[in-house]
Amino acid sequence: MTRTKKAVVLILKCMAFVFSTLLIIVFSLYCAMWILVNGPSRTISNLFIETVSETSAAKFLARMYRSQEEIDEIVNRGNSDDDGGYLDNSLIDLPDDTTGVEDDDYKGGSKNGDDEGNDNGQNGSIGDTQNVDTDNTDKVTPDADDGIEIVDVRGETYNGKMMIVHDPKRVFVAVPDSYGENKRGLTLDGYIEKYGAVGGINGGGFYDPNGTGRGGVPEGIVIYEGKLLWGDYGTEYWIAGLDENGLLYVNKMTPETALSLGIKYAASYGPALVINGVPRTRLYGGLNPRTAIGQRADGAILMLVIDGRSVSSLGATYDDLAEIMVSFGAVNATNLDGGSSSLMSYKGEHLTRSAYIFGYRYMPTAFLVR
């Protein structure tokens, strides 16, 4: 056998080995998922179906083992679609303004009218990040000129961060210059730079076919500075909205109702997690990266981001989020867009890990802190 022929044979053998190995891996994964879906535990089966169904790019995995009708029955079996009920605003005691930051400084898209924003995305004096278990949060006291706490959140299947903003009027919804099918939103860092903000989290959902969306077409409602930028005037949407006093609304409503209530900033996703201090139950959901926003009785805004899709943090369910929010004293709270969009940034640093393999998602909205 000639040297050239030997080389060709060796290459072909290597290719056959690689192909066989990949085939074994794929077959093993298929069998493992089949056991998860068709095994004796309905809970595990439902959790797997919900987890992959909530992704933009991996929905096909659920359809490999279940019909669309069966998937819909599993995903919609909980209480996530009711309207959330009546909000008792008397349970919230809003604080006086303690920041010295005027809303007018941020009108027009950036701090003090500077289109470029601050180089480091900071505003004012911000205290050090604090790492505290959730059961010790009462021991954390922010500096007098700070008003922001960052707290570690841990559970059996997840790790994350809670940002507590003591003055709710510092929180607002950031938007890009325009929306449309041929438009693109901004990354979280882009929003922070544009508005000269201290930090923030991702916001509402958007049209995202197979994970290719660019944040130019929001889902639901977008209100900025008291003006409706997106959404049908008479259609009900899940809302995460703030009025001019910093009061958070988290139930379903039409844009018409939202504007009549004086809501100044709003984005959409849902479902509501906590209403009037009571966690909503049987919301279910899969184990995925999550983002949520809530408000305590003293008016402080709770901004939660859970890491997911990694060995160290698989993710959280909606019920997990409700439990976390209640443990932090939330009176009202709602889920925001999650998955590869979930991200928290503070003082120029990402405090959570993006699950997006190509970097950071372009998004239609973000909840920022002045």
Q: Return the pLDDT at 268.
A: 98
How sure is the predictor about 122, in pLDDT bands with cuts at 50, 70 and 90? very low
Strand extents, DSSP E, 85-155: 148-154
Structure tokens at 310: 């990694």
Residue 364 has pLDDT above 60, yes or no: yes
* Ranges of each domain in the chain: 3-75, 89-369
Specify whether the CB–CB gap between 364 and 215 falls below 8 A: yes
Q: Which residue from 163, 171, 120, 160 is spatially nearest to 142, judged by alpha carbons? A: 163
Pairing of strands 349-350, 344-346: antiparallel
As a whole number of Å, the end-to-end CA separation of the chain is: 75
How sure is the predictor about 139, in pLDDT bands with cuts at 50, 70 and 90? very low
Residue 107 has pLDDT above 50, yes or no: no
Pairing of strands 301-306, 366-369: unpaired
Residue 81 has pLDDT above 70, yes or no: no
What ranges in the chain are assigned the alpha helix state H? 3-38, 42-53, 59-63, 68-75, 188-195, 255-260, 318-327
CB-side neighbour CA atoms (13 Å) of 252: 12
Q: Return the pLDDT at 326.
A: 98
Residue 123 has pLDDT above 70, yes or no: no
Q: What pLDDT, in 10s, does the model give residues 174-183?
A: 999 999 999 9
Q: What pLDDT, in 10s, does the model give residues 34-62?
A: 777 777 777 778 877 887 777 766 767 78
Does the pTM surpass 0.85? The reply is no
Q: At 166, which amino acid appears?
A: H
Q: At what angle do helices 42-53 and 3-38 cross, to 10 degrees?
A: 120
For 31, which DSSP code? Answer: H
Which residues, including other chains, have CB under 8 Å from residue 153's CB and lie 6 or more apart? 134, 159, 160, 161, 162, 304, 306, 324
Q: Return the pLDDT at 53.
A: 78
Most confident of 14-18, 211-215, 266-270: 266-270
Look at 220 and 84; give whichever has higher pLDDT: 220
Q: At 123, which amino acid appears?
A: N
Look at 144 and 274; give whichever has higher pLDDT: 274
Q: Which residue from 153, 162, 203 is spatially nearest to 335, judged by alpha carbons? A: 203
Residue 150 φ then ψ, to 5° = -120, 120
Residue 157 has pLDDT above 60, yes or no: yes
**Overall average pLDDT of the 108-133 stretch:** 36
Residues 284, 288, 291, 297: what is their CA dihedral angle, to the nearest 10 degrees? 40
Q: What pLDDT, in 10s, does the model give residues 293-338?
A: 999 999 999 999 999 999 999 999 999 999 999 999 999 999 999 9
Q: What pLDDT, in 10s, does the model give residues 278-293?
A: 999 889 899 999 999 9
